[in-house]
Chain A
Amino acid sequence: MKLEELRQIRERAAKDLTLRKGDARVKVVVGMGTSGIAAGARDVMAAFLDEIGKRELTDVTITQTGERGLASSEPVVEVHVRDEPTVVYGQMTAERARRVVVDHLVNGNAVSEFAIEVRE
C-alpha cells in the first residue's frame, strides 16, 4: 500500500463514521410513534435509508422521533436543512420519500405538495 492508497481508504472509511461526527448538513426525522408505524413509517424510513445510501449522501443523517400528535397525517417526516426553514411532510410513502430525497435533499427544492408545515 502506498500513501495515496491509504488516503483513498481513509476517504472511503471516513464516510462510514459520519454518523459519529454530528456535523450533518441535513437531518431527516421520521415519526415512528405507534400510529406512524401503523401508517407505514417503517417503509418510509427504509426508503429514505435506501435512497440516501444509493446516492451516497454522506452529509445526511436520519433519525426517528415519537408521536407528534398529527395522527391523520402520519407517517410524518421532518427535514431540517442547515440554515433553512424546517419542512414537515405528511402522509408519506416510500415513493414520496424517494422524491423528497431527490428534490429536496439533492436539488434543494422542498416538495410543496407533500408539505404540511414550514417552520422558520
Chain B
Amino acid sequence: MRRRLDVLVCSGAACVSAHSSQVRDALAEAIAARGLGEEVRLVETGCMGPCELGPVLLVYPDGAFYIRVKPEDAAEIVDEHFLKGRPVRRLLWESPEARKLAEEHKQIPFFEKQKKIVLSNCGEIDPESLEEYIATGGYEALGRALTESTPERLIETIVASGLRGRGGAGYPTGRKWEHVARESAAEKVVVCNADEGDPGAFMDRSLLEGDPHAVIEGMEIAAYAVGASLGYVYVRAEYPLAIRRLKLAIDQARRVGLLGDNILETGFSFDLDVRIGAGAFVCGEETALIASIEGRRGIPRPRPPYPSTAGVFGRPTLINNAETWGNIRHIVLHGAEWFSSIGSPKSPGTKVFALSGKVNNTGLVEVPMGTTLRELVYDIGGGIPDGKALKAVQTGGPSGGCIPAERLDTPIDYESLQALGAIMGSGGVIVMDEDNCMVNIAKYFLEFTCDESCGQCVPCRAGTRQMLEILERIVDGRGEPEDLSHLRTLGKMVAETSLCGLGRSAPNPVLSTLKHFEEEYRTHIEERSCPAKVCTALIRYVIDAEACRACDKCRPVCPVTAIAGSPGKPPYDLDAEICVRCGRCAEVCPFDAIHIETGGPQQQIP
C-alpha cells in the first residue's frame, strides 16, 4: 500500500525537553487505533529550528506545520487531519490563533530569510535512517571524490570555495587541509571538534542530532584528500542524543561499506571513533582537545608544533568544527563557485546561529554570511518581546563581545564582527534588551571563563580572577574611578600573554562592553546606580503608597518578612534593611505598586 502522509516529529533536544516523545507516542497510538498505520508514517527528525514553538510537527505533503503540540492533541490531529483531511487550525503555525500569537510577538516569517545548506536535512529526514540520508544525495559526494576526483583536486576545490572554519576563528579550511596533506607521515588523523562549550550555543549538537551522516561524510572526504586513515569525533557528554545518533550512524555506514575498510570498494580505508569529553570549555581549544582524545588531562600546550604537524598521538592531524564538516559534501557536489557565490566575498557560505535571549523566535537558524544583525534579530528573530528596546547583541559567547544597538546594520562576517570587538565565534547569538545590565553581563561571562580556565598559565588564571574581582566590586557599589583603566590594562595583558585562545579571548566581553557602554560602568561607579536595575546591591524595592491597595498579596510571599501592613489599610510598608531584593513581591503585586529604584543612598543587603 502506498503511504500518503509523512508526519515529521521534531526530536531535537529542545523539542524532546518539551515532551515531543510523548507527543510521538500519543500520535502513534491514535494512528494505530484508527487503522492508519500503513498510510501514515511517523518520522523523527532533527531540529527544525523554531525551538520556542516546540514541540513542532510538520505534515507532508500538505506542509501543515503544527506548533506547541501536546500529547492530548494527538487524537484530534489524527481524527481530524490525518483521517478527515481537516488540519487542526488552532495548532497550526498559520492558524488565526497562531497569527494572533504572531501579532502579539510581532513574529515575521522565521523560515523565509534563512538559507539552509548545512541544516538542509535537519528537520527533513530521519537522522536514524541511512536510507533517507542517501535519498537526499548522501554519500554521493564521497563516491565522486573517491572515483572521479583526486586528493589534490579536492583540496583545490575547498581552497577555491573560500570556506572558513565555523568554530570561531575563521581560518581558511582549505589551507588547513593543505598543511596536513603536505606532511609525509604514514598515519594521519582527522578530528571533528563538536565540543561546543559556549553557554547558549547548540549548532553542533543540532547538526549531529539531525544529520550525523553529513559530518561523517565530510570527514571521510577530507581523510581521502589529506591521506588520513583514522578519525575522531570529540563531543561532550552533555549531548547524549547527539552521541547516540552519531554512533548509530557510524555503525550503519560501517555495515554497508561506507566507512571502514575498502570504502565503496575503491581501496580507500578510513575508520571513525567517538571520544566523549567531560564538558570542560578549554577542551574546545585544539591542543587541549588532542590531549583529551589521547586520554590525558585536557590542557592546551604552546604551538608550534601545530596539530597539522604533530597532533593526536603525534600524527599530523586535521581538526575542523562540526559545522565546517557539514559544508564539505555540498561543496564537493555543487562546486567551489557555487559555494563562493553565497554569502559575502571574504566570508562565503552560510552560518548557523543559535538565537537566544530577549528575542521572540529563539532557536536554530542558518543564514547567508553578510546578513545583517538587524535581519537576524528583527526579521528572523521576530524582534524583542514586550515592546522593549534592543540594547545589544552578544556574539561568540564568553570569547566574544557585545555589539550595541546602533551597530545593528553590521553584516555578519568574520571581519566586521571583529572590528567591533566581538567575534563570529561558533554561532551563539544572545539578544539583550534595556533590562540587561552590561556590567553584569560582562561579569557573567568572565565568571564563566575564570571558572573554566585550566589554570596552567598565570595571565589567564590570575588575570581573569583579578578582573572578576574588580567587576564584582563595581556591581556591588564599591567601584573606584581607576577601576576602568585597571580593567583595560589587565584585559590587554591577559589577551596578549595567555597561552591559548581561552585566555586570549576571555577579556573580550569586558573590553567590548567597556568600549561601547563605558557610561554604564561609570554610572555604577560614580552614582552607585544600575540603570538597568539588575545589580542587586544597587537597587531597592519601594512600595508606591498611592498605588498600594493593601490587598495583602505581597506580604505572605516575602521570604524574609520585610513587608508589613494589614489588609485594607494602605499603604504597606517595605523595610529596605531586611529586603533581600528577590523581587517576588513586585511579581505578585496586581497593581504594579512595587517599583525598583536605583541610585541614592545605598542599603546593605543583609
Measured as residues with beta carbon below 8 angstroms from the partner, the interface class of chain B is: 35 or more
Q: When the two chains form their complex, are residues B131 and A9 in contact, meaning their CB atoms are under 8 A apart?
A: yes
Please tell me if the beta carbons of B143 and A3 are within 8 angstroms of each other in the complex. Answer: yes
Q: Which of B1-16 contact A (CB under 8 A)?
A: 1-6, 8
Docked pose: A22 CA to B60 CA in angstroms: 8
The segment from A29-37, A92-100, A111-119 found at the interface with B is A29-37
Chain A residues, Cβ within 8 Å of B198: none
Residues of chain B in range 121-156 having any CB-CB distance to chain A below 8 Å = 124-125, 131-132, 134-140, 143-144, 146-147
Of residues 53 through 82 on chain A, the ones whose CB sits less than 8 Å from some CB of chain B are 53, 57, 61-66
A-B contact count (CB 8 A): 103
Interface status of A50 (Cβ within 8 A of chain B): yes
Q: Which one, B1, B61, B134, B257, contacts A49 given CB within 8 A? A: B1
Q: Are B61 and A22 in contact (CB under 8 A)?
A: yes
CA of A62 to CA of B2 in the docked complex: distance in angstroms? Answer: 9
Determine the residue in chain B with the shortest Cβ distance to A16: B135
Q: Which of B2, B60, B124, B138 has the most CB of A within 10 A?
A: B2
**In the complex the two chains form, is B83's CB within 8 Å of A17's CB?**
no
Contact B85 A22 (CB under 8 A): no
Q: Does A102 contact B (CB under 8 A)?
A: no
Specify the chain A residue showing the minimal Cβ separation from B139.
A6
Q: Residue on A with the closest CB to B58? A: A20
Q: How far is the CA of A33 from the CA of B62 in the complex (A)?
A: 17
Given known contacts A3-B143, A10-B137, A63 and B1 CB-to-CB distance under 8 angstroms? no
A49 partner residues in chain B, CB cutoff 8 A: 1-4, 38-39
**Residues A2 and B136 in contact in the complex (CB < 8 Å), given A33-B84, A63-B62:** no
Residue of A nearest to B3 (CB): A19
Is the Cβ of B83 less than 8 Å from the Cβ of A1? Answer: no
B295 proximal to A (CB < 8 A): no
Please determine whether B5 and A32 come into contact, CB atoms closer than 8 angstroms: no
Q: How far is the CB of B401 from chain A (nearest CB, A)?
A: 40
Q: Which residue of B lies closest to A1 (CB)?
A: B257
| Inter-chain contact B85/A64, CB cutoff 8 Å | yes
Q: Are B131 and A16 in contact (CB under 8 A)?
A: yes
Q: Closest Cβ of chain A: how far from B131's Cβ, in Å?
A: 4
Would you give the shortest CB distance from B340 to chain A, in whole angstroms? Answer: 27
Alpha-carbon gap, A14 to B140, bound state (A): 13
B4 cross-chain contacts in A, Cβ below 8 A? 19, 45, 49, 61-63
Across the interface, do B265 and A63 meet the contact criterion of CB distance under 8 Å? no
Give CA–CA (A49, B37) in the complex, Å.
13
Q: Are A20 and B131 in contact (CB under 8 A)?
A: no
Residue from A6, A7, A32, A57 in contact with B85 in the complex, judged by beta carbons closer than 8 Å: A32
A61 surroundings in chain B (CB, below 8 A): 4, 61
Shortest Cβ gap from B270 to chain A (Å)? 15
- Known contacts A1-B256, A32-B83, A63-B4: does B131 contact A19 (CB below 8 Å)? no
B1 in contact with A30 (CB, 8 Å): no
Asked whether A19 and B61 contact (CB < 8 A) given A6-B264, A13-B132, A13-B135, the answer is: yes
Find out whether the CB atom of B6 lies under 8 angstroms from the CB atom of A19.
Answer: yes
CB distance from B60 to the nearest CB of A (A): 4
Question: How distant is the Cα of A66 from the Cα of B80 in the complex, in angstroms?
Answer: 9
Kindly list chain B residues whose C-beta atoms are within 8 Å of the C-beta of A53: 1-3
Give 1 or 0 for each of B47-74: 1 = CB within 8 Å of chain A CB.
0000000000000111100000000000
Is there a chain B Cβ closer than 8 Å to A106's Cβ? no
Partner of A19, one of B60, B84, B138: B60
Interface flags for B184-212 (1: CB within 8 Å of A; 0: not) read 00000000000000000000000000000
Bound-state Cα–Cα, A15 to B545, Å? 71
Q: Report whether B84 and A37 are in contact in the complex, using a CB–CB cutoff of 8 Å.
A: yes
Task: Please measure, in the bound complex, the distance between the C-alpha atom of A34 and the C-alpha atom of B39, giving whole angstroms.
Answer: 19
CB neighbours (8 Å) of A12 from chain B are 131
Residues of B within 8 A of A62 (CB): 2, 4
Does A52 touch B at the CB level, under 8 Å?
Answer: yes
* Bound: A64/B131 CA distance, A: 28
Nearest Cβ on chain B to A80's Cβ, whole angstroms: 12
Interface string of B490-512 (1 = CB under 8 A from A): 00000000000000000000000
Q: How far is the CA of A1 from the CA of B143 in the complex (A)?
A: 11
A6 near B143 with CB under 8 A, answer yes
Q: CA separation between A62 and B62, bound complex, in Å?
A: 10
Q: Is B584 an interface residue (CB 8 A)?
A: no
Nearest CB of B to A28, in Å: 9
How far does the alpha carbon of A13 sit from the alpha carbon of B125 in the complex, in Å? 12
Nearest A residue to B35 via CB reads A42
Contact B2 A50 (CB under 8 A): yes
Partner of A16, one of B5, B124, B132: B132
**Chain B residues, Cβ within 8 Å of A19:** 3-6, 60-61
A98 vs B510: C-alpha distance when bound (angstroms): 72
B86 at interface, CB cutoff 8 A: yes
B258 beta carbon closer than 8 Å to chain A: yes
CB distance from B119 to the nearest CB of A (A): 15
A residues within 8 A CB of B266? 3
Residue of B nearest to A36 (CB): B84
Q: Look across to chain A and name the residue whose beta carbon is closest to the beta carbon of B81.
A: A64
Chain A hits for B8, CB < 8 A: 20
A115, B225: Cα distance in complex, Å: 61
Docked pose: A14 CA to B124 CA in angstroms: 13
Of listed A20, A33, A61, residue having the most chain B CB within 10 A? A20
Question: 11 extra interchain contacts, Cβ-Cβ under 8 A, other than A30-B85, A32-B83, A53-B2?
Answer: A2-B264, A3-B143, A3-B146, A6-B258, A9-B131, A17-B125, A20-B124, A22-B61, A49-B3, A61-B4, A65-B86
A and B contact pairs by CB, cutoff 8 A, 19 listed: A1-B258, A2-B264, A2-B265, A6-B139, A7-B143, A10-B140, A13-B131, A13-B134, A17-B125, A19-B3, A19-B5, A19-B6, A19-B61, A32-B84, A46-B1, A49-B3, A50-B1, A61-B61, A63-B4
Which 7 pairs across A and B sit closest by C-beta, in order of nearness?
A64-B85, A53-B2, A13-B135, A3-B143, A13-B131, A1-B257, A62-B4
- Chain B positions within 8 Å of A, measured between CB atoms, are 1-6, 8, 38-39, 60-63, 83-86, 124-125, 131-132, 134-140, 143-144, 146-147, 256-258, 264-266
